[in-house]
Amino acid sequence: MENVVLKALKERRSCRSYKSEQIKDEELQAVLEAGTYAPTGMGYQDPWIVAVQNKELREKLVRMNAAVMGAKSDPYYGAPTIVLVFGSSLEKWGNSVCDGSLVLGNMMLAAHALGLGSCWINREREMFATEEGKELMKSFGLPEGLIGIGSVALGYPAAAPNPPKPRKEGYSRVIK
């Protein structure tokens, strides 16, 4: 069975090399809107999305993320846009990480559909648990008590994606 959505699901790959050119505003808005249509537990719409294109703030995020992994490299692979996803603490909303993960997935599929490259980036939980991270969240106008779920590096790909790895044997099962 073949259709455009199934094709996109099979073709989307993580991009780890970006052009420096910033994406168009309408492309960013389409990606962000796709994130808002991700399913959330009980329709609660718990996640919060923040897109960063400011170069100085982007460099701060690079530094913070690299510090968590003990590196000096750019964990966002030079992507000109970083889209952060936050959610309530797990004590407040147990579906927080699941809901935020679905938002990230929707945005990556939308990026692919628009010809953009994307890559899921981790360590936002650790970054935004710091005092510096909490101050940043406050500067973003976010409510207190949120946690970082993850982020998407977003931009125009500088290279063709790697081909998909073969799917493992027994990945799925059908029980009738």
Question: What pLDDT, on a 0 to 100 scale, did the predictor assign at position 2?
Answer: 84
Is residue 175 in some structural domain? no
* pLDDT per position as a tens digit, 73-123: 999 999 999 999 999 999 999 999 999 999 999 999 999 999 999 999 999
Band the pLDDT of 61: cuts 50, 70, 90: very high
Is residue 168 in some structural domain? no
Give residue 145's domain range: 19-155
Q: What total of structural domains would you count in the chain?
A: 1
* Mean pLDDT calculated for residue range 60-74: 97
Band the pLDDT of 1: cuts 50, 70, 90: confident
Residue 163's contacts (CB-CB under 8 Å, 6 or more residues apart) are none
* pLDDT per position as a tens digit, 31-50: 999 999 999 999 999 999 99
Is residue 81 in some structural domain? yes
Is residue 86 in some structural domain? yes
Is residue 89 in some structural domain? yes
- CB distance 129 to 55 below 8 Å: no
Does the pTM surpass 0.85? The reply is yes
Is residue 174 in some structural domain? no
What is the rounded CA–CA span in Å between residue 32 and residue 24?
13
Question: What pLDDT, on a 0 to 100 scale, did the predictor assign at position 55?
Answer: 98
Q: What is the mean pLDDT of the chain?
A: 97
Question: What pLDDT, on a 0 to 100 scale, did the predictor assign at position 131?
Answer: 98
Question: What pLDDT, on a 0 to 100 scale, did the predictor assign at position 51?
Answer: 99
Question: What pLDDT, on a 0 to 100 scale, did the predictor assign at position 6?
Answer: 94
Is residue 166 in some structural domain? no
Question: What pLDDT, on a 0 to 100 scale, did the predictor assign at position 69?
Answer: 95
* 64 pLDDT above the threshold of 90: yes
CATH code of the domain in which 138 resides: 3.40.109.10
DSSP string, 30-92: HHHHHHHTS--GGG----EEEEE--HHHHHHHHHHHHHHTT--S-TTTT-SEEEEEEEE-TTT
Is residue 110 in some structural domain? yes
* Mean pLDDT calculated for residue range 149-166: 95
